[in-house]
Amino acid sequence: MPEAENLACWKCHERAGVAVCVSCGAPQPPPPSPDPFAVLGLTPRFFLDPTLVDEAYKRLTRKLHPDRFSGKAAVERRMSLQWTAILNDARRVLRDPDRRARWLATGSAEVRERGGPRLDTPFLQQMFTWREEEEEDPGVIAPRAQALAASIRAELDALFRAWEAGQGELSLVEDRLARLKYLDGFAVVPPQKE
């Protein structure tokens, strides 16, 4: 959000800075559609050191958390609440490889309701067959599902490595993530009855 650095603070009218005014400490209006990388001040990459994410998150949350604005005006409390929700979401997205991958490929961390990928018939049939086998014999599919998932993750790694090197693009990512979602269903031990 580089433009924001040049704006004046709504409260003290000095040069504001990003997220929190450097002069008076008041929170600045949060962005309507936050980019998790930009919010935490990190370069968009798939291969990311999680401690960098945590450090950026803690540094910003220390300044913006609602507890810091307990005695302040309602408008500041509202902004700090929105900002902290945005920071929490940004950390969640960047710390989860699947969400991070989806965001880089599609601009959204969550699965799209429409316009998402259509998985090919052979794959879906395989899933259907495996479901039936699983019902007969719980846990029997897990090794195969995990192996397939591992190979898809390796493929995703290669895609992102190429992309970060400036070659290749990410159009296949969404499809591969959708497959992983199906495979995740087999990898778990059946839930315990309450």
Partner 1 sequence: MAANIGIDLGTTHSLVAVVIGGKARCLLDETGDPLVPSAVRYAPDGVVVGRDARDRASEFTGSTFTSVKRFMGRAPQDCSSDAALFRYEMDPDDERVVRLIARQGELVRTVTPVEVSSEILKVLRARAVEVLFGEPGGAVITVPAYFDDAQRQATRDAARLAGLEVLRLLNEPTAAAIAYGLDTRGSGRFVVYDLGGGTFDVSILELDGDVFQVLATAGDTHLGGDDFDQALAEFVRTQLGLSELDDATHRGLLLAAEAAKRRLSELDVTEIRLGDAVVSVTRSQFEALIMPVLQRTSAACRQALADAKLGRDGIDAVVLVGGSTRTPLVRRHVEELFGRAPYCDLNPDEVVALGAAMQADILTGNSSLADDLLLLDVIPLSLGLEVMGGVVERFIPRCSTIPVSASQTFTTHVDGQTAVDLHVLQGDRELAKDNRSLGRFVLRGLPPLPAGVPRVKVSFLVDADGILQVSAREEHTGIEARIDVKPSYGLTEEEIEQMLEDAIEHAETDVDDRMLIEARVEAEGILAAVQKATSVDSGLLQGDEASQIRAVIADLQAAMDEGNRRKIQDLSHALDAVTAPFAQRRIERDLSLALTGRDANTVAIELGIPGAARV
Question: What are the residues binding partner 1 (CB under 8 A)?
Answer: 58, 61-62, 65-68, 70-71, 81-82, 84-86, 88-89, 91-92, 113
Q: Which two tokens stand for residue 151?
A: 């190979």
Q: How far is the CB of 177 from partner 1 (least distance, A)?
A: 18
d(CA 26, CA 125): 56
Q: How far is the CB of 191 from partner 1 (least distance, A)?
A: 10
Q: How far is the CB of 110 from partner 1 (least distance, A)?
A: 9
Angle in degrees, CA 37, 117, 115, rounded to 5: 80
- In this complex, which beta carbon is closest to partner 1, that of residue 58 or of residue 161? 58
- In this complex, which beta carbon is closest to partner 1, that of residue 71 or of residue 166? 71
d(CA 168, CA 175): 16
Q: What is the Cβ-side half-sphere exposure of residue 193, based on CA atoms within 13 angstroms?
A: 0
CB atoms within 10 A of CB 29: 15
Q: What is the 3-state secondary structure (H, E, C) of 74-98?
A: HHHHHHHHHHHHHHHHHHHHHHCHH
- In this complex, which beta carbon is closest to partner 1, that of residue 19 or of residue 159? 19
Q: How far is the CB of 76 from partner 1 (least distance, A)?
A: 12
Single out the residue of 187, 159, 177, 186 nearest to residue 119, CA to CA: 177
- In this complex, which beta carbon is closest to partner 1, that of residue 33 or of residue 151? 33
- In this complex, which beta carbon is closest to partner 1, that of residue 36 or of residue 170? 36
Q: How far is the CB of 113 from partner 1 (least distance, A)?
A: 7
